Structure 1
Amino acid sequence: MTVAPGRSPRSSAELIRAEEPVLAHNYHPLPVVVARAEGAWVEDVEGRRYLDLLAGYSALNFGHRHPALTEAAHRQLDRLTLTSRAFHHDRLAAFAESLAALTGLDMVLPMNTGAEAVESGIKVARKWAYDVKGVAPDRATVVVAADNFHGRTTTVVGFSTDETARAGFGPFTPGFRVVPYNDLAALDAAVDETTAAVLIEPIQGEAGVVIPDDGYLRGVRELTRRAGCLFVADEIQSGLGRTGRTLAVEHEGVVPDLVLLGKALGGGIVPVSAVVGRREVLRVLRPGEHGSTFGGNPLAAAVGSAVVELLGTGEFQRRAEEAGVILREGLSALVGKGVRGFRARGLWAGVDIEPALGTGRDISESLLREGVLVKDTHGSTIRLAPPLTVTDEDLHLALATLEKVLTAAS
């Protein structure tokens, strides 16, 4: 059999069946097998094209294979890919300096995945509580919000309120207090002399792109400063241009003590994450107290530096804000026509479909058949997070396709 260059000899259906006996069921993917991609578009093994409105949960903020990012990766692949942090390498300082400058903070702790950044942030906050705040040994607490999503490690799912994430994985790590999101009074009541940090998402992504009231983030900042604890912002999904700002906290002019970054920091090429924060907080770590074989590796630093350079122009933040107007206007026109409501900021939206028309999964599968990729979250909600490189024409196409699917389901 002759197969076109880069084309799989097996069909999508065959490849999906081949996964069943050998892949653990940690995801429930839509029935599409992607083989190639560029910009906001992907192509399956049969050559069908799809508009990608998920962008790897914001890992692909700059689209698939952005030329500046692939060029940076290719250049570094020909020089040096890994040393481990047992040695210094020539890309790390520039990466850390540029990322700190982009976020307006002082120091960087490089890691790999978003979950690692969250775990690292928790460790740093606890160490700071013992060394600086004077909390008694093993008594430090961290306050988090209900409906949070900070990853899938055992520590993190222990303070999740999603029973699908929690059930069957205990016993869990103690030391966390859960309060309702967007409720400053509840947060104030939960904070005491043992509190090391308040850890929240400025916008809750997995919960359905839940945007807090104006003033909430400022209130969190004021409350934590008054209580003498840290404000840790998980910007792994919301950060790096997604909401029309470099960081979502910038919408309220807030500067946290620690910011957790990931996903888009690797440009959709390699896993790159980081804890970025104030010098007096991150300096509580001493050699040997934390580490990562791959964290801050030369390839990651090269790609991460290229990502920071793209964001340094402000072009992508402006694009997210401008295209976000098209997205909001298009969704507003669908309210009452199959859309019950939505929440959006920049190029990020959670869209609540009328339950009578189907679950979020049903609508996602219908959109897939029409050539548009989205992902459902809880109930009848879908998330839209197109690459920041998406064109106006493609956005209008996506909105028209959503309207077509909703009309057909009515």
Structure 2
Amino acid sequence: MILMKNKRWVSGVNLTLSQRMAILLLSVSVGSFYFALQVLFAPHLPLVMDEFQGASAIYQSVSSIPYLNFVPYKPVLGYWFQSIFAGSYESASQYIVDLKFGVRLVNACCLGILCWLLLRMEDVFASWSVVYSLVVVTLVSTFIERSAELRVDMLTVWVGMFSSILFVKQRYLFAGTLIGLGFLVSQKIYFFGVAWAGALSLYWVLKDRTYSLLKYGSFSVIGCAIVILLYILVFGVISGSFERVVDALFFTHADIAFGDLYGDLSRFWYQSIERNLLFYCFVFFSLGSAILNLNRLSDEHWKLVVFSLIYVLLCLSHKQPWPYFVPFLLMSALFMFPVASEIWKGSPGFVFFSVSSLSIRVVLPTIVM
């Protein structure tokens, strides 16, 4: 029914001009759709108190020397990038408004670029399933509410998604380098790094067993390590304390990430699940279908399914309040929906479930709850 073995990633060089233009138009449309939702809906949301801390961290990162004059809460690469959009210093509120506009604009651009890249992977995903998954994720109420908060989480997600595409393409050095750069935005990139390390390791043990994968896969570790070590070297020299930099990167906030400081997190889950129940059912339906059909999948789909399974388990074990973390978990749907569409290609039940989940998200006004 499905899935040729050993299909390779297609760069799009064989596409006709009309196909290229269609892909570009769809990508711009997806990015514009997200931006329009943000412009129309998100400004009505109150600021979260942590956004003031984020704005302060951005200001400090460009007005003082990190690790010498202050120790940043996160690595400074993300703060430096967000500071590009700091247009006005007249008031704290205007400063935050300008920065949040930049977050929305970057998200829209990255969503469009991601759509463009996925649509060109025509031997891995069906075009309709790519657009469908992107639109459905964009319509999840918690994604609308939380993706444009003044944090570095969404920047981390985009870096992780682009590195995932490179892993599928088997560009391991570049993928690992992106993971390293993502670590300098937020340590939460480890969700992507650990999940891909686990997926490739299992693929080597169960299916590949070649020296080539072991060799080239190790390049991703090397690329990631080089980027992080360079960061430690530069700021260790500038601040005069390598210990301070290493401690801030790896140990200072470990209790927040891995401890039980927040108690029961179930109430945060209910906020999103009760408003997007069909979406979450579809995510786990797609993941479950893919796992049950794992032996019938192409190599690329096999890796994506195992990556997504490990990734989802890591997300579910996360110890911090969940709503602002939701974009991380939702990204698994961008891979699972297209894989499931290949498994159940032509199935009336799958088509009905797909169309109904999208139509309910569009018709019902749950995004304003």
What TM-score does the superposition give when structure 2 sets the normalisation length?
0.28
Relative to its length, the structure with more helix (as a share) is 2
Relative to its length, the structure with more strand (as a share) is 1
What TM-score does the superposition give when structure 1 sets the normalisation length?
0.26
